[in-house]
Amino acid sequence: MIPTPEINFNRTPVTLILATLVLALEVVCTLDPERRYMYVNGYRLGMWWWVWLGELWRPFTCALLHGNLIHALFNIYWLAIFGPTLENWLGSYKTLALIVLLAYISSLAQYMLGNWFVDLSEQHGLVGLSGVVYGMFGLLWVGGWHRAELRAICNEMVAQGMIAWFVFCIVATYLDWLRIANIAHGAGLVLGMLIGMAVFKPRQRWLWALAAALVSCLMLATLLAAPGHPGYEIAQEYKRRLRQRDELLKAYPDLIFDENLLPIGLDELTTDEPPLP
């Protein structure tokens, strides 16, 4: 039996505020499709290589946006199932921290690993709360092995459904039916399960906690540097051109630059320069 979402703002404000925000953003984007592009790129909320230019909020804000209304409603439903249980158990502040951590790790994993060997012109950003949802599921799934009240929420039917959907998404992506962030699903699930093992396995708590911390630190470290990733390399090139521009402006205040930050009229500096997207 699938559990019923709990609606109680006093007890679960983080879950309900997040669900409302996600729904509101998607409704606006559905009614006005141009806003979707504006939110992702104009307001810089989608995940993209600009994260290496100081826009560190992107791995979280991209989780608030979705590709369509069905995508958003699916995630909101499971957020409303898993979120209240976690918030009643952990409290609102810890739940918020967990959501933010899961969003960062799942989004970074998808963008980093999914695009590492993909040319920048063919790369895709990502949106969606699915990584967070699978992280919540993973934590509660492990918790259900040890606590009856958690097993009532993440019961056998729920677990089978989430795993089946996980597998279907991989198959659908492989067959090119849909474009799905499977790495984000997997990263959220693994981190959620590691946290669950750290909480519910007292004899091996330190080992599982260390594993969860190591996975988190490794992914968060990519915010600082990811040598070899096309997005990171183009960000470094962009920074180099900014420094070049600033140095040239000091020497030649009247220079005019094109959209790629290259000085117009100085042919010797524009030769063999890779174009920016």
Q: What are 76-93's pLDDT values in tens digits?
A: 999 999 999 999 999 999
Considering the domain architecture, whether residues 239 and 217 belong to the same structural domain is answered as no
The token pair at 258 is 């094109």
DSSP calls for 89-129 = HH-HHHHHHHHHHHHHHHHHHHHHHHHTTS-GGG------S
| Total number of domains in the chain | 2
The reply to whether 135 falls in a domain is yes
By residue range, what is the domain housing residue 52?
A: 13-226
The reply to whether 275 falls in a domain is no
At residue 257, the 3 state secondary structure works out as strand
pLDDT confidence of residue 125: 79
pLDDT in tens, 230-265: 999 988 988 888 888 788 878 877 766 665 565 444
Q: Residue 266 — pLDDT band, cuts 50, 70, 90?
A: very low
pLDDT confidence of residue 258: 61
Considering the domain architecture, whether residues 50 and 137 belong to the same structural domain is answered as yes
CB environment 57-68: b (16+ within 10 A), e (fewer): ebbbbbbbbbbe
The reply to whether 203 falls in a domain is yes
Considering the domain architecture, whether residues 242 and 206 belong to the same structural domain is answered as no
Instruction: Give the span between the Cα atoms of 8 and 14, in whole angstroms.
Output: 11
- For the ranges 78-82, 118-122, 143-147, the maximum mean pLDDT occurs at 78-82
Per DSSP, what are the bridge partners of residue 263? 257
The reply to whether 256 falls in a domain is yes
CB environment 111-136: b (16+ within 10 A), e (fewer): bbbbbeeeeeeebebbbbbbbbbbbb
